[in-house]
Amino acid sequence: MTTDHGYPAVRMYVAGAWCQGETGRTAPVVDPATEEVIGDVPLATPADLDRALDAAATGFEVWRATPVAERTRVLHAAADLIAERADAIGRIATLEQGKPLAESTGEARRTADTLRWHADDARRAYGRVIPSAPGTVLTVRREPLGPVAAFTPWNFPVGGPNRKISSALAAGCSIVIKASEETPATAMELVRCYADAGLPPGVLNLVFGEPAEVSEHLISSPVTRLVAFTGSVPVGKLLAGRAGQVMKPSLMELGGHAPVIVCADADPVRAARRAAGAKWANAGQVCTSPSRFLVHESVAEEFTAAFVEAAEAVTVGNGLDAGTRMGPLANERRVEAVRRLTADAVARGAKIRTGGERLDRPGYFFAPTVLTDVPEEAELMSEEPFGPLAPVVPFRDLDEALAIANSLPYGLAAYGFTDSAATAERLADSLQAGILSLNHCGGSVHEAPSGGVKDSGYGREGGPEALDAYLVTKRVSHLLVP
């Protein structure tokens, strides 16, 4: 069933069945490119959440006892379905999130590859045998932790939920995931791929609802054994604190404010073009988006001119339109946030080199914006913009640039451009971030870990480390009795 907009009727998925919720409460879903209501999302009640938790408890016992070869087969089948349905899933993601269709379908295809990687990692959750005394067998075993409560935002509506789901299921855990109410149909279609692949009922449960109510209920439940969250630093601290009160581990992938250091020996035009491609991706609504451009004074103007040229070449429009390279912001809240940061920077002396305003059309569109002469005290220099804002700040020497880059309490991603191997090693050693890219602004990859330090969170997603949070390490000492 779909609406006139081609948007599907959204349902939750609990205990192997699609459902609307006990009371039928809903919230509207808005197309950010038109500001039109295109559907609604059911909101869970405490009773709905209890059913999901009960299902996860039962599903965990089934899934943990399922042979790893069968678990892997089901997960590979789900990955195949995601890949087959990538175009349809991508269109739904663009309708409710706004990013260009090519970005959405690409996200869906990468999601399938991530799932395949984690499915194979299920076979590699090795323990070990430790040499011990005669007559004693000392082993270390890795076992699934238990039911997981997961929470994901709207900016990557396919890949975000799948990171949590695929890691949990590969480790042998069950999961209750609350995906974003702003992008619910994308999460629904992702979950449908798992269900259609033959996942047993209760292993994967999808709910929506009032965020504070749902998180409190799921985290407090004795069924939940792990809390996994992607989102803002303030909310992450609240959820981690609540999990700590009930002695539950948590996995936190939080926000950042990624510095980009362009050294004097780098090609400023090449650096600008590569950085611009990452800056305008998803309209800057990416936790790892480059957001503070620290450029050596000898190449700052050349870099800025090339960056402005790249910004002005971006076609902003509806993500469903051919040729669109940057879609709208996700909601009115983001428009107001970037408008406020821009106005504050200008009031403090910054100059707008291009952009700087909301576009005069329906939808949450804001122009790609480049600012110079941005003072250190401007809010934009300390607050993650999560939008298409790029402040360019010159520096005199690398010590100064590193001090600015590391001055904030965030440490998710960082970037550097240099033609010197020695300088590259210094950047790698000195930048305080969990993710560092040199001479490019690449995104996350499924074969390597991603995660932050300081206020940007803890734990890792991707790579062999992805399963660590979902596994218990158990030491077994077995004295052999004749």
Which one-letter amino acid corresponds to residue 17? A
Residue 2 resides in a domain: no
In terms of Cβ atoms closer than 10 Å to its own Cβ (0-12, 13-18, 19+), residue 269 is middle
pLDDT band at 207 (very low <50, low <70, confident <90, very high): very high
Q: What is the mean pLDDT of residues 246-253?
A: 97
Query: What's the pLDDT at 193?
Result: 98
If asked whether residues 286 and 219 sit together in one domain, one would say no
Q: Is the pLDDT of residue 2 over 70?
A: no
Same domain, 371 and 471: no
Retrieve residue 192's tokens: 């449908």
Give the mean pLDDT of 94-121. Answer: 97
Mean pLDDT of 244-269: 97
Same domain, 65 and 214: yes
- Are residues 387 and 269 located together in one domain of the fold? yes
Average model confidence (pLDDT) for the chain?
97
- The answer on pLDDT for 37 being more than 60 is yes
- Whole-angstrom Cα distance, residue 74 to residue 437? 34
Establish if 3 belongs to a structural domain.
Answer: no
Q: Which domain holds residue 308?
A: 258-445
| Dist CA 163 CA 239 (whole Å) | 19
Mean pLDDT, residues 319-340: 97
As a whole number, mean pLDDT of residues 410-436 equals 98
Q: What is the pLDDT of residue 23?
A: 84
Q: Looking at residues 457-474, what average pLDDT do you find?
A: 96
| Residue 400 located in a structural domain | yes
User: Do residue 290 and residue 439 come from a single domain?
Assistant: yes
pLDDT at 443: 82
Give pLDDT tens digits for 58-82: 999 999 999 999 999 999 999 999 9
If asked whether residues 132 and 30 sit together in one domain, one would say yes
pLDDT of 382 reads 97
Q: Which residue of the set 173, 263, 287, 441 is catalytic?
A: 287
- For residues 213 and 265, state if they share a domain: no
* φ and ψ at residue 253, rounded to 5 degrees: -110, 100
What does the pLDDT read at residue 81?
98
- Residue 401 in tokens: 């640039």
- Is residue 60 one of the residues assigned to a domain? yes
CA 9 to chain centre: 25
What is the pLDDT at residue 447?
93
Let me know if residue 328 belongs to a domain: yes
- For residues 206 and 354, membership in a common domain is answered with no
Which CATH number goes with the domain that contains 314? 3.40.309.10
- Looking at residue 3, its pLDDT comes to 52
Residue 99 phi/psi, 5° resolution?
-65, 155
Using alpha carbons only, what angle is made at residue 293 by residues 287 and 299, rounded to the nearest 5 degrees? 155
Could you tell me the pLDDT band of residue 4, with boundaries at 50, 70 and 90? low
For the segment 399-409, what is each residue's pLDDT rounded down to a tens digit?
999 999 999 99
Same domain? 270 vs 243:
no
Q: Please tell me the distance from the alpha carbon of residue 76 to that of residue 80, in angstroms, as a whole number.
A: 6
Distance CA 466, CA 449 (A): 7
19 is catalytic: no
Residue 7 belongs to a domain: no
CATH code, domain with 194 = 3.40.605.10
Section 427-452 average pLDDT: 95
DSSP H or E stretch at residue 415: strand 413-417
Tell whether 142 is covered by a domain.
yes
Residues 6+ apart with CB under 8 A from 434: 411, 412, 413, 449, 450, 451, 452, 453, 456, 460
Average of per-residue pLDDT across 322-331: 97
Helix, coil or strand: residue 146:
coil
Look at residue 442 in the predicted model and tell me its pLDDT: 87
Q: Is the pLDDT of residue 54 over 90?
A: yes
The structural domain count of the chain equals 2
Within this chain, do residues 129 and 69 fall inside the same structural domain, yes or no? yes
For residue 366, is it within any domain? yes
214 and 298 in a single domain? The answer is no
Domain match, 247 and 263 both: no
User: Which pLDDT value is given to residue 444?
Assistant: 87
Question: Alpha-carbon distance 347 to 161, whole Å?
Answer: 39
Token duo for residue 414:
């960082």
Quick one: pLDDT band at residue 468, thresholds 50, 70, 90?
very high
pLDDT higher than threshold 60 for residue 448? yes
The mean per-residue pLDDT over the stretch 152-176 comes to 98
Task: Given the residues 107, 181, 189, 253, select the one marked as catalytic.
Answer: 253
Dist CA 388 CA 366 (whole Å): 7
* Model pTM score: 0.96
- 287 an active-site residue? yes
Two tokens, residue 302: 């050349």
User: How far is residue 401's CA from residue 383's CA, in Å, rounded to a whole number?
Assistant: 18
